[in-house]
Amino acid sequence: MSSKGTVVLVAVVAVFIAFMTAYSVYQAQLVASVAERPVAAQTLQPYTPVNVTINVQGADQQIQSVYSHTIGSIVMVSCITETTTVTFFGPQQSYEEVIGSGFFVNYGGNLYVVTNYHVVNGAVSVAVTLMNGSSYPASIVGTDPYSDLAVLHVNATLNVQPLQLANSNNLRIGETVMAVGSPYGLAGSLTVGEVSQLGRSIQESTVTGYPIADLIQTSAPINPGNSGGPLLDLNGDVVGVNTAIIAESQGIGFAIPSNIVARELPYLVKYGSYNLHPWLGVEIVGLDYFATQALHLPVSYGVEIASVVKGGPAAKAGLIGANSSVEYYGMQIPSGGDVIIAINGTPVTSTDALTSYMEANVLPGQTVVLTIVRNGQIMNVPVVVGARPPP
């Protein structure tokens, strides 16, 4: 998202504030201590070179073709946002212009623009600008803060070809992708990269306090103002919606998978919201090898339940949150909570793994089986998943 000079896009994993300060210190001290330890020499297997022929000219032509066929379906989204501040003299309103990106899709024979929620959040006026320079007023049809998605309707009759949503489940790491949008207000900008990883989670500075899960990580440069623009494959189909960069980083961007867009689009158009995000009612903290050793776990991975929401799905299933800590080389590690090591038989190796699995595969009302470690014993606990409370 771009806003005339200031853009804040933050990616953190926020869990269990009471224990995370100690745990962060533990991790920092751990890195320092490991860096000073000698590494034993290893015998490497002989390397056999593999000859790979890449047709660079052909790839360039394909990228150029995709760009020329899709650019007319991509827009710059401009918003006037209002902020109210309570002062000594009473409530004071301030306004600023926010710039993002979007693209046309078809639903029910009508054209809509898909963009990010954080682009239009707080907007009192919205407009879209086509790449030919024509601008039109737009209205917000539906929003989902949890997935950072929004759908707009352009208040004009347009002759625009909508983009197609690909099946993002078919994405592979290393696949070439293209990000198109309006970084810093520079409309129609193209960047190219690869799919770096799948199933990522980030915690952006939105109103929800929950991570945005099951994201595509890409090396295609995504800059402020790209938010809401399409991430395209080499067929010119949308595989994701560009949503965020990690502040002060290079080469790391994230996009919402197109399958999430396809799943939510009917709800956002018909009802104006999407309320089917799964919810366990827990706060979790990821455990590395040293933390699992400190807790004497029979596995070297997992996520510990830091706290359980009273009356939530996990509490009803009898799951337990951390209630103490253990000392490990002078560092305090939270303990006493159930450690989740699998969900429906799929290993939970990180907080990303759990949140992304839930977002991609589970709906409220369904039952999941969590494999946990409690008091050194491995057991399975069925949990009836709830719906995430409104933000």
Average pLDDT over residues 279-288: 94
Average pLDDT over residues 321-332: 89
67-88 pLDDT, tens digit per residue, is 999 999 999 999 998 888 888 7
Residue 274 confidence class, pLDDT cut points 50, 70, 90: very high
Q: What is the pLDDT of residue 57?
A: 59
pLDDT at 335 over 60: yes
pLDDT at 47 over 50: no
pLDDT at 39 over 70: no
Q: What is the pLDDT of residue 26?
A: 41
Average pLDDT over residues 136-160: 95
CATH architecture label of 75-82+97-154: Beta Barrel (2.40)
Task: Give dist(CA 193, CA 61) in Å, integer.
Answer: 15
Taking the mean position of all CA atoms in its chain, how far away is CA 207?
Answer: 14
**Would you say the CATH fold of 278-387 matches that of 75-82+97-154?**
no
Residue 91 confidence class, pLDDT cut points 50, 70, 90: confident
Question: Could you tell me which residue, 160 or 42, shows the higher pLDDT?
Answer: 160
Beta bridge pairs of residue 285: 304
Q: Which CATH superfamily is domain 278-387 in?
A: PDZ domain (2.30.42.10)
pLDDT at 16 over 80: no
Provide the phi-psi class of 376: left if phi over 0, else alpha when psi is between -120 and 50, else beta: left
Question: Could you tell me which residue, 66 or 50, shows the higher pLDDT?
Answer: 66
In this structure, of 154-163, 244-253, 276-285, 359-368, the range with the lowest mean pLDDT score is 244-253
Residues in contact with 6: Cβ distance below 8 Å, sequence separation at least 6, in sequence order? none
106-123 pLDDT, tens digit per residue, is 999 999 999 999 999 999
Q: What is the pLDDT of residue 204?
A: 58
Query: Do residues 290 and 32 make contact, with C-beta atoms less than 8 angstroms apart?
Result: no
Share of the chain above pLDDT 70, in %: 82
Secondary structure (3-state) at 229: coil
* Backbone torsions φ then ψ of 354, nearest 5 degrees: -70, -50
**How many Cα atoms sit within 13 Å of 298 on the Cβ side?**
12
Buried b (16+ CB within 10 A) or exposed e, 207-221: ebebbbbbbbbbbbb
- Residues annotated catalytic, as ranges: 118, 148, 227
Beta bridge pairs of residue 99: 2, 78
Residue 158 confidence class, pLDDT cut points 50, 70, 90: very high
Q: What is the pLDDT of residue 25?
A: 41
Structure tokens at 203: 């915690």
Interstrand relation of 189-202 and 212-218 (parallel, antiparallel or unpaired): antiparallel
Average pLDDT over residues 270-288: 95
Residue 173 confidence class, pLDDT cut points 50, 70, 90: very high
Taking the mean position of all CA atoms in its chain, how far away is CA 29?
Answer: 29
Q: What is the pLDDT of residue 111?
A: 97
Q: What is the pLDDT of residue 51?
A: 47
220-230 pLDDT, tens digit per residue, is 998 888 999 99
Domain boundaries along the sequence of the chain: 75-82+97-154, 278-387
In this structure, of 107-116, 192-201, 261-270, 324-333, the range with the lowest mean pLDDT score is 324-333
